[in-house]
Structure 1
Amino acid sequence: MEIPEEYVDGFTEALAEVSQTGRRLTRDELDARRALGERAAEHGYSLRRVVAAHLSAACAAWPTLPGAASAATAREMSAVTAGLLEAVRQAVDAAGEGYDHAQRLAVRQEEAARREFVDDLLYGRSDLNRLAERAERFGLRLAHEHAAAVATGPEPYDDTHPVTRRVEQALVTRFGARRILLATKEGRLICVAPGSQDDMLVYFAEQARAATDGGRVAIGRAHPGPGGVVHSYEEALNALDLAERMPLTTPVLYAADLLVFPVLTRDRHAMADLVRTALGPLRDARGGAQPLLDTLWAYFDSGCVAAETARRLRLGVRTVTYRLDRIKTLTGSDPADPLHRYVLHTAVIGAKLLDWPAKEL
């Protein structure tokens, strides 16, 4: 695409004066070159075209420039040529500076627009219809189902962090640049993808864990509409929070697998009452309730196998057996009895969720 002559307006006139006087380009002339370079960038012309336009104009005007035409000796011609070449260099440099400034401004504006969109998308702000329109620009069709995944690591990440770039490059290489959004929020990596393409988020989880040296990833369920991304994102955040409090050791968490926990804590008063009733007597044990609570957690998590419980706690089997007998004596509930086991297991989960016994209920 050839660049119009208007982008070199005034250039040959300036060269004509330079050829006669040997002066450098004035500040006003350089400012004009910068302004035209900016305008060329804004209108989509390449920097190569801008440079080529100036060089072509200089070549076309060179034989007719007053100083070049009137040079009587080789020395005079050499001096005129040197002055003209310096003027061309100044002009091209100024045009390139203006072009680069426009490009940087466009990038900053694009980054600001993208950040604003991500904030509105993840917080559910802005008019939903308008949000859906803006999403098209970033490759998302919010009328369809989408799911969000959130990754954490040993340090906070932003859009320019090497980890972010590495994960983004892997996703673009595998799936292309459309229909998937990678961003950062509060130091976490965020990935939004169509709900019908589970492989995108699974691959994101693999790449994020590799890039963060074993970080944790949570994947929300797919939900339709502009508000569906917010819902899925909040599910993923809640899964990460739950994993910290329980604690859960699974490196990739699926919100769909953890739905029982919000159900258990929906009636907080009832859960607190269960914890106090079923586990409250453990406070009377020597050393407090925490060691016995940890034993119950490991016991249920290991399928109620005392030997595996001992291995996980790095204790002797006899110590674990003693603790289980002590729990039975204090609470009146036998962890080996199926009915008692269900009540105790639910109470232990509730204790983890409510941070008991560290916090009073």
Structure 2
Amino acid sequence: MGLSLTLSAQRRDEIVTALRGHVGSLTTKVVEAMETRHHWVRRLGAEDRSWITIVARAGIDNFMAWFADAERAADPGTLFNAAPRALTRKISLHQTVDLVRTTVNVVAEQVGELVPPEDQPPLELAITHFSREVAFATAEVYARAAELRGGWDERMEALIVDAIVRAEADDMVVSRASALGWNTFGPVCVIAGPRPDDTDLDALRGAAGARDLAVLASEQGGRIIVILGGGQLSDLEASVQAALDLEQFFGPGTIVVGPLVKGLPQAAESAQSALSAARVAHAWPEAPRVVASFELLPERVLAGHPAARRKLVDDVYRPLAGAGGELLATTIGFLDNGCAVEPTARALFVHANTVRYRLRKVAELTTMNPLDPRQAYALHLAITLGRLVVTDSGEAQR
């Protein structure tokens, strides 16, 4: 039921008739007050300001129609039908409440000059009641818009991540990511980790955003795939640290960080590396909680991943072979002598410091440190694969 009013139906009709002649001036004063009291209104585009004017006018008309009929239930939510739902992206809920409050105050001030003193108390009571209903309607509109936008954004984000995983990141994918808030042109890496029982991607996004990182996240096949971007991802160490900062949002198991790439269009390379490593991470149960994908190259090669095989041959064996026989021979001798410097020096008839110097050069050249047991294992596998490739292709051996 509508608000019980003390005025008779005839008197209400007379008041509404009198007020209708001033709707235009009331609307103008309301809009002027909005622009004066809220500086952000002046920064809106002409089209958005025109929609605000239409909503203000609709609100005044809606109030008068309700006030004229005491038995009519207030339905101020219909006044938002005048504006497009896109307006909720431009104006926050807090800002909308400010506009509603301004509208109510201005209307209350003006009607005091338009009706006799004895009619002002019930009219002010009606305005207060109606403004309360408008506030509830406003909250409902924004809640519904947030729910629809949240569901749509989540589906869009999943499609973008899926396109990157499948190496289909074209200009359209980048454009859609920008629409979701991806606003960085800095380096990008992809993180793949186990999905927890209580997945909370919103919390993950919030934690990444608090670190000034652009983020896209989705669940895929029991894993969480996270695409991170930002200028602070300066090197692999920074990427691993970013993953460590977010590890609480993953389930138990190994979290794999793909290599840094130039930008989102190249993220497929990082995604494929991270995912191929994540699939074989169980073969290295001693791995750290967060590990770079290149550290799982041996497992990836043994699992039959061609990209991992090519990377070991091209990035490790070929640079060694191309640097001259000394580095390759020293590496082989070091591996064959149990990764011990002194026996290697005796076998090669050189000083132990010469062996150490050459091993440092190997680490600089290949990013694989022979003194690290895990990386020495990868070096050994790279040399074996390289020899196979040389034999199969008929390349000249050094």
- CA shift for structure 1 position 176: 0.8
- CA shift for structure 1 position 208: 4.1
What secondary structure sits across from 1:215 in the alignment?
Answer: coil
Match of 2:257 in 1: 219
- Structure 2: state its 5+ residue gaps: 1-39, 42-48, 307-337, 339-376, 382-398
Find the aligned partners of 1:83 and 1:232 in 2 and give their Cα distance.
62
- CA shift for structure 1 position 31: 1.4
Is 1:176 matched up with 2:225?
no
Find the aligned partners of 1:267 and 1:25 in 2 and give their Cα distance.
68
- CA shift for structure 1 position 202: 1.4
Give the letter aligned to residue 254 of structure 1. A
Q: Is the 8 A contact 2:277 2:300 kept in 1?
A: no
Match of 1:6 in 2: 54
Q: Is the 8 A contact 2:161 2:217 kept in 1?
A: no
| Higher relative contact order structure (alpha carbons within 8 Å, sequence separation ≥ 6) | 1
| Residues 169/237 of structure 1: CA separation in 2 closer, same or farther (3 Å cut) | same
Give the letter aligned to residue 93 of structure 1. F
Is 1:255 matched up with 2:297?
no
Question: 1:4-26: per-residue Cα shift (whole Å, max 9, x none)?
Answer: 43221143344445556545455
- CA shift for structure 1 position 123: 2.0
What secondary structure sits across from 2:256 in the alignment?
Answer: strand
Find the aligned partners of 2:113 and 2:305 in 1 and give their Cα distance.
90
Identical-residue share of aligned pairs (%): 17
Find the aligned partners of 1:118 and 1:11 in 2 and give their Cα distance.
43
Is 1:239 matched up with 2:265?
no
Match of 1:116 in 2: 159
- CA shift for structure 1 position 249: 1.8
Question: 1:55-82: per-residue Cα shift (whole Å, max 9, x none)?
Answer: 13422442155xx5273xxxx7544443
| Residues 7/255 of structure 1: CA separation in 2 closer, same or farther (3 Å cut) | same
Match of 1:107 in 2: 150
After TM superposition, the structure 1 = structure 2 runs for residues 68-83 of structure 1, keeping only pairs within 5 Å, are 68-69=115-116, 71=118, 78-83=121-126
Cα RMSD of the aligned pairs, angstroms, is 4.0
Find the aligned partners of 2:304 and 2:62 in 1 and give their Cα distance.
78
Find the aligned partners of 2:102 and 2:87 in 1 and give their Cα distance.
11
Find the aligned partners of 1:200 and 1:267 in 2 and give their Cα distance.
26
Within the candidate set 257, 267, 270, 1:229 is matched to 267
Match of 1:308 in 2: none
Find the aligned partners of 2:64 and 2:128 in 1 and give their Cα distance.
12
Find the aligned partners of 1:241 and 1:17 in 2 and give their Cα distance.
65
Match of 2:342 in 1: none
Match of 1:131 in 2: 173
Match of 2:88 in 1: 41
Find the aligned partners of 1:16 and 1:8 in 2 and give their Cα distance.
13
Find the aligned partners of 2:241 and 2:127 in 1 and give their Cα distance.
58
Question: 1:94-143: per-residue Cα shift (whole Å, max 9, x none)?
Answer: 344334433433333333332222221222235x23334444451344xx
Within the candidate set 93, 107, 110, 1:58 is matched to 107
| Residues 122/57 of structure 1: CA separation in 2 closer, same or farther (3 Å cut) | farther
- Structure 1: state its 5+ residue gaps: 269-302, 304-341, 347-361
| Residues 51/80 of structure 1: CA separation in 2 closer, same or farther (3 Å cut) | closer
Find the aligned partners of 2:110 and 2:270 in 1 and give their Cα distance.
64
Match of 2:141 in 1: 98
- CA shift for structure 1 position 250: 0.7
What secondary structure sits across from 1:124 in the alignment?
Answer: coil
Find the aligned partners of 1:134 and 1:171 in 2 and give their Cα distance.
19
What secondary structure sits across from 1:58 in the alignment?
Answer: helix
| Residues 70/201 of structure 1: CA separation in 2 closer, same or farther (3 Å cut) | same
Give the letter aligned to residue 130 of structure 2. A
Match of 2:192 in 1: 150
- CA shift for structure 1 position 256: 1.6
Runs of 4+ in 1 over 6 A off after TM superposition: none
Match of 1:188 in 2: 223
Question: 1:296-343: per-residue Cα shift (whole Å, max 9, x none)?
Answer: xxxxxxx9xxxxxxxxxxxxxxxxxxxxxxxxxxxxxxxxxxxxxx9x
Give the letter aligned to residue 220 of structure 2. K
- CA shift for structure 1 position 158: 5.2
What secondary structure sits across from 1:9 in the alignment?
Answer: helix
Aligned residues: 255
Q: Is the 8 A contact 2:207 2:246 kept in 1?
A: no
Find the aligned partners of 2:281 and 2:70 in 1 and give their Cα distance.
74
Question: 1:164-189: per-residue Cα shift (whole Å, max 9, x none)?
Answer: x1x4444333x3144x5444433423
Question: 1:161-220: per-residue Cα shift (whole Å, max 9, x none)?
Answer: xxxx1x4444333x3144x54444334233334574324421233234445575321122
- CA shift for structure 1 position 146: 3.4
